[in-house]
Structure 1
Amino acid sequence: MKFINRLLFLIVSILLLQSCSTDSAMITPSKNYKYLALGDSYTIGQSVCETCRFPVQLKDSIGKYLNTNDTFLVKIIATTGWTTTNLKSAIAAENTTNDYDLVTLLIGVNNQYQLQPFTLYEQEFPELVNTAIQKAKGDKNNVIVVSIPDYAFTPFGNGNTTISTEIDSYNAFAENYCLTNNITFITITDITRLGLAQPELVASDGLHPSTIAYSKFVQRILPEARSKIAD
């Protein structure tokens, strides 16, 4: 009888150990992701709610594909009216870490709007891209550059073709630089050029993109962002 009891105890112990081992193997270690969004009014989300701005929508969209115990933090360095010069100064002042899993950069509209020399953008845009790479663990594959929206297609811009032509010049330079240096460039300008025909794409201020427009931005950016996070 004692032998049988000992045998039963041994069998139960083995089964419990196997169960614990299986449970431990099923636990996925949590991951902590960090996302840095650099830009101006289009990044801070002028005239839309805090959760409506595109970096937060992007974070929330990516979060749907992560494990439940993972974390995804977003830091935004952006203010309405910033030029490339302003953004450079702000990043330096923030003294942020260089361990971000994803960095987005959308900058240049205020250079155009404030009639800054185009040569300034030609100088400072590459500098900002290199800073973005530095913040992205020194890996350019973790960086996404987003094209500049065209505010000519808003009530404020009123279809001004000069604006569109100049925005095209800025975007052409940025895209060419990114292609030459194998950096991901996402075009969303065409979405904003529907603003007069589709007023729901323009925020209540008559100038900036709406929550709906930002959602369309995210649809374009999400596949690349997911891929970079996965890597």
Structure 2
Amino acid sequence: MIRHVAGQYILVFLLFFSVDTFPQQDSLSFLALGDSYTAGTSELTINSWPLQFAQLMDKKGVPLKPPTILAGAGWTTDDLLSEINTSNLETEYDLVSLLIGVNNQYRGLDIDQFKDQFKELLDKSVKLAGNNTSRVFVLSIPDWGVTPFARFKDKDKIRRELTTYNAIIEVETEKRGILFIEITKLSQQALWNKSLIASDSLHPSAKMYKDWAKKIQKKVLKQFP
């Protein structure tokens, strides 16, 4: 989250994503947009929430193709917009997710700029989903203030600022009729459960990503056609 990493366009193919119930052509495409929380920084990509989410969806009879992940450590809304504009993405995906904003907050960037860029990212996400808002979902920003990395930081300030960011995200998302999924409270469990934090003392562990994936799956399945 803290150090910017050069743009990465990850198309992950894993053998364990074999689809037994449905032929491959029935599998749905999934684009995950974001920052380190989506890229699975400090964890194996297989343990990131998009990969675990795809596995869970497959088990429920909704097979997904290997997820396309456009995300990187340190990315802000500005970075993600730039990467979307320059990456060779498909013109349309069956499912698109968005999780962004923590690095805007960490760097103390202008929140009005965040709001404008987040709205632009929402519009791009909908376009990438074939202009179908029911195929887009947005996640709230996790609370990194509960991690060991933040032990010398002003945790109350972090929480207040992230609350403001998440309020903007929720309002703008629901205004467009897009599914908003709150995962901040799940992230705060790391305050007393250190197994939810990766070895870098900042990012989520595979266990926390699994908790996110389970909640995301349940929410997405409720509105899946």
Q: Calculate the TM-score normalised by the size of structure 1.
A: 0.83
Alignment of 1:215-230 (within 5 A): 215-227=210-222, 230=224
Confirm whether residue 109 of structure 1 aligns to residue 102 of structure 2: yes
Deviation digits for residues 94-122 of structure 1, max 9, x if unmatched? 14123211101000000011111101111
User: How many Å apart are 1:194 and its aligned residue?
Assistant: 1.6
1:77 match: 70
- Runs of 4+ aligned residues of structure 1 deviating over 3 Å after TM superposition are 27-30
List alignment gaps of at least 5 residues for structure 1: 1-26
Match in the other structure for 2:204: 209
Give the match for residue 64 of structure 1.
59
- Work out whether 1:178 is the aligned partner of 2:158: no
Aligned length: 202
Task: Give structure 2 stretches of 5+ with no counterpart.
Answer: 1-20
C-alpha contact (below 8 Å) 1:33/1:73 kept by paired residues: no
Alpha-carbon distance in 1 for matches of 2:50, 2:180:
16
Amino acid at match of 1:109: V
Distance 1:105 1:72 in 2: 18
- Percent identical across equivalent pairs? 36
Instruction: Go from structure 1 to structure 2 and tell me whether the alpha carbon gap of 1:139 and 1:193 turns closer, same or farther (over 3 Å shift).
Output: same
| Pair 136,199 (structure 1): closer, same or farther in 2 beyond 3 Å | same
- CA-based RMSD of the aligned residues comes to 1.7
CA distance in 1, matches of 2:46, 2:222: 23
1:157 and 2:150 are equivalent in the alignment: yes
On the 8 A contact 2:56/2:214 being kept in 1, the answer is no
Residue number among 123, 130, 142 corresponding to 1:130 in the alignment = 123
CA contact (8 A) 1:54 1:214 kept: yes
Aligned pairs (5 A) from 1:35-74: 35-66=30-61, 72-74=65-67
Q: How far is 1:221 from its partner? A: 0.5
- CA shift, 1:193, in A, is 1.1
**Selected match of 1:86 from 79, 97, 101:** 79
Equivalent residue in structure 1 for 2:164, among 169, 187, 207: 169
Q: Distance in 2 between matches of 1:137 and 1:224?
A: 20
Q: Distance in 2 between matches of 1:180 and 1:87?
A: 22
Q: TM-score, normalised by structure 2?
A: 0.85
Q: Which entry has the higher C-alpha Rg, 1 or 2? A: 1
Distance 2:107 2:22 in 1: 50
